Amino acid sequence: MRISKFVAPEIIFGNNTIQQAADACMRLGAKKVFIVSDLGVAQAGWLERVMDCCRLAGLPFATFMDIATNPRDTDVVNGCTSFIENECDAVIGVGGGSALDAAKAIAVLAANGGTIRDYEGVDKIEKPLPPMVMIATTAGSGSEVSQFSVITDSQRKKKMTIISKTLVPDIAIIDPYTLITKDSALTASTGLDVLTHAIESYVSIAATPLTDVQAKSALSLVSAHLRPSVASRTNAEAKEAMAMASLQAGLAFSNAILGAAHAISHAIGGMSPVPHGEINAILLPHVMDFNFIAAPGRFGQIAECMGIDTRVLTQREAGNAAIRFVQELSIDIGTPQRLSDLGITDSVIHSICLTALEDACMITNPRDMTLEQAKNLLARAL
């Protein structure tokens, strides 16, 4: 029997919970908080909401928003300098994966020094981080509950995956109401990221009964609610379901880790600034097809969570139905179907594959992947 480990932050989920940000920080002993966000979130008004609640609570703060869509090591260094100059002792992240991953990485540097590259891989962070409250305003990254931070190495042009228990925030706030300001394209790409988290963590070799229940629930919720969520910004039921799906998928992949789709996606994302969820969604059907033989029964369960009646299907038919479900979903919500649509060309496949095979997420992929197999997979997705 394998040993199962599971870590989660304290979770607060519900409409308007964003206004609990200051209270959450003060419970953790914060005297001055460093609020990390990005321009899009600020323009949507959510940063102001957090600042307001700090003002109301009498909690001093500094803000930092200078973050790329795929946050870079240089952004993190600048953030850390600002954190120290402003004499902050706690971090709030507010936004999607970019803001939250950057906020966590700033906390790492502030407490541990060095460069963010020193912490790439699993369990490299030694000193405890300042108190962290993460507020998710996109249903996607799961970063508000995860032990992950993904930062782009601007010199090596690759995404570094940093995995450590200390990256789990102290308190995660998920406010579905904030999803009202996401446009349909962002809703689609981040929603497909949730789908990928759920499926990859469910077939991961590190999956446990504790992650399985979260992954399956997330998968059912995305399958039922992503289409209506993309269709309407004001469908409160769909927004709530997608926020919960993102949270549960986050709990699953934080503890079971991910697989080949994320490993390859990180390699591509390091080179070109395309939305992470779109790359994942293009890769996912091909990765599922490749991984099928590693866990045929699990792919049958995936099909069932999608609402497919598998009783009269063979294992392979159920697996194919699950793959088709992913393809149809991404077509319906209008995301790109091929890597070439994102500007990826044949010439970079070799280098993408070399980087992907070294990614921490590849370790938990259920089927071993050779360089040749990776290249074939990418050729099919091109």
**Shortest approach of a second copy to residue 16 CB, angstroms?**
9
- Site string (154-173) toward a second copy, x via CB under 8 A: -----------x--------
Quote the tokens at residue 86: 């402003």
Binding-site member from 5, 31, 156, 316 for a second copy (CB under 8 A): 5
- Asked whether position 69 contacts a second copy by CB under 8 A, the answer is no
**Alpha-carbon dihedral of residues 86, 91, 93, 98, nearest 10 degrees?**
80
- Site string (189-208) toward a second copy, x via CB under 8 A: -------------------x
User: Would you say 213 or 371 has its CB closer to a second copy?
Assistant: 213
Cα-Cα end-to-end distance for the chain = 40
- Asked whether position 3 contacts a second copy by CB under 8 A, the answer is yes
- Asked whether position 223 contacts a second copy by CB under 8 A, the answer is no
- Asked whether position 14 contacts a second copy by CB under 8 A, the answer is yes
Question: Is 118 in contact with 164 (CB distance < 8 Å)?
Answer: no
Q: Checking DSSP bridges between strand 10-13 and strand 61-64, what pairing results, if any?
A: unpaired
Our measurement of the distance from residue 120's CA atom to the centroid of its chain's CA atoms, rounded to an integer in Å, reads 17
- What is the 8-class DSSP label of residue 34? E
- Asked whether position 248 contacts a second copy by CB under 8 A, the answer is yes
**Shortest approach of a second copy to residue 64 CB, angstroms?**
28
- Site string (97-136) toward a second copy, x via CB under 8 A: ----------------------------------------
- Asked whether position 235 contacts a second copy by CB under 8 A, the answer is no
* Orientation of helix 209-231 relative to helix 236-256, angle to 10°: 150
Binding-site member from 82, 149, 214, 223 for a second copy (CB under 8 A): 214
- Asked whether position 39 contacts a second copy by CB under 8 A, the answer is no
User: Would you say 2 or 85 has its CB closer to a second copy?
Assistant: 2
Distance of alpha carbon 160 from alpha carbon 121, whole angstroms = 8
The Cβ-side half-sphere exposure at 44, using a 13 Å CA radius, reads 19
Query: Residue 94 CB: number of other CB atoms within 10 A?
Result: 31
Q: What are the residues whose beta carbons fall under 8 Å from the beta carbon of 58, sequence distance 6 or more?
A: none
Binding-site member from 180, 210, 313, 363 for a second copy (CB under 8 A): 210
Question: Is 144 in contact with 94 (CB distance < 8 Å)?
Answer: no
Residues found near a second copy in the complex (CB under 8 A): 1-8, 10-15, 17, 165, 176, 208-210, 213-214, 216-217, 236, 240, 244, 247-248
